[in-house]
Amino acid sequence: MNDERGGDRLLLAVSIGLTLFGVIMVYSASAVMAKYSYNSQFYFVVRQSIAAVLGIAIMLVLMNVDPQLLRRPLTVYAVLLISILLLVVVLFLPATKGTHRFIKLLGVSFQPSELGKFALVLFLAYYLSKRSGEIRSILKTFVPCCVVTALISALVLAGKDLGTTVVIGLVAAVMMLAAGVPFRYMAVCALPTVPVLYWQLFHVAYRQQRLKAFLDPWQYARDEGFQVVQSLIAIGSGGMHGLGLGQGKQKMFYLPEAHTDFIYAVIGEELGFIGAVTVVLVFLIFMWRGLHIARAAEDMFVSLLATGITVTLVMQAFFNMSVVLSLVPAKGIPLPFISYGGSSLLLSLTAVGLLLNLSKQVE
């Protein structure tokens, strides 16, 4: 399925398809609210469409750049340094909904944690492949990788984004294990995170309330469990075939964040079980093609970078869908390619551009 000029054609089709589907669903989920809040039903979909066009353009450019640029130390460390600086800067900016996640400039908002995830993936792929002959060395290989992972994770967590912090940690662990780092190293490294997670879940007031709402959302249906309950009502209302595109009711001021973190609930309500399962299957196809590139690559850098990009996007997707279905406690993680959000969409398509570039190097 690889084209010498365009890379993995199925992966390309899936990525563009998800993006275009996301634009349609953003309009469906946001039109009523946009008309009420901004006096234009197209407020959100226009911005998402602009991000989609820019993202696809960047993806097509990155497909054809010199692959050696990706592994140059200047590229890797520049991206890493910029992402760390942005994660620091955002902590000193005014909070948005009680969190420090967005940098807003000239009416455009950017989420540094989105860049931080992929900067870490690029760094780990570069560093682990560079140390391939010393992969079991604790001081030369394992410690530097852990330090950089911990730094980015700590900055993201300082911005009150536990969900993304968990995704970052899991992706880093998968990449190190794929590189051949012994599992016992990872187990020892994970021990200090246990008390941190315990504190964040059980001693941070709003997270404690979210955890209670997760265990029994209907008991807290008027406060912390409201969003999850409305999400489940939307999913249940869709039945097998859905109410029809644009015909959902929960998005009409019942379901908060209908066009962002909970857009999968709108998909379930309007397109039904069939639509919701189709989205899952498409992400599984994405995972299949991404991991195929990683498996087929003879070059360790290519293999690890493909693994990191694929796992990051797919893990985030299934995390988001699990939140919507109340399988895990509520966290603010967007559904890649589909949720409203320029920075998430741009960086997801940028990552896919790199993945397609890698696919051209795999026979």
Instruction: Answer for the pair 258, 27: CB distance below 8 angstroms, yes or no.
Output: no
Q: pLDDT category, 151, cuts 50, 70, 90?
A: very high
Q: Residue 56 — pLDDT band, cuts 50, 70, 90?
A: very high
What are the Cα distances from residue 153, in Å, to 119, 168, 249, 301? Answer: 12, 7, 38, 23
Q: What is the DSSP string of 125-182?
A: HHHHHHTGGGTT-IIIIIHHHHHHHHHHHHHHHHTT-HHHHHHHHHHHHHHHHHHT--
Quick one: pLDDT at residue 40?
92
Instruction: Report percent pLDDT > 70 for the chain.
Output: 98
Asked if the model's pLDDT at residue 331 lies above 90, the reply is no
Please give the average per-residue pLDDT across 44-68, as a whole number: 93
Within 10 angstroms of residue 37's Cβ, the number of other Cβ atoms is 11
pTM given for the model: 0.93
Q: Is the confidence at residue 68, as pLDDT, over 80? A: yes
Show the domain range for 39. 2-359
Looking at every residue in the chain, the average pLDDT score rounds to 90
Average pLDDT over residues 250-274: 91
> CA-CA distances (angstroms) from residue 348 to 19, 115, 146, 320?
10, 9, 24, 15
pLDDT digits (tens, 9 = 90+) for 165-200: 999 999 999 999 999 999 999 888 888 888 888 888
| pLDDT average, residue stretch 209-228 | 84
| pLDDT average, residue stretch 281-306 | 95
Is a pLDDT exceeding 60 seen at residue 252? yes
pLDDT score at 253: 82
* Dihedral sign (CA 275, 281, 286, 287): positive
Question: What's the mean pLDDT in 110-132?
Answer: 93
pLDDT tier, 1 (very low <50, low <70, confident <90, very high otherwise): low
3-state class (DSSP) for residue 108? strand
Number of domains in the chain: 1
What amino acid is encoded at 171 in this protein? V
> Tell me, what's the pLDDT at 44?
94
What 3-state class would DSSP assign to 67? helix
pLDDT surpasses 60 at 5: no
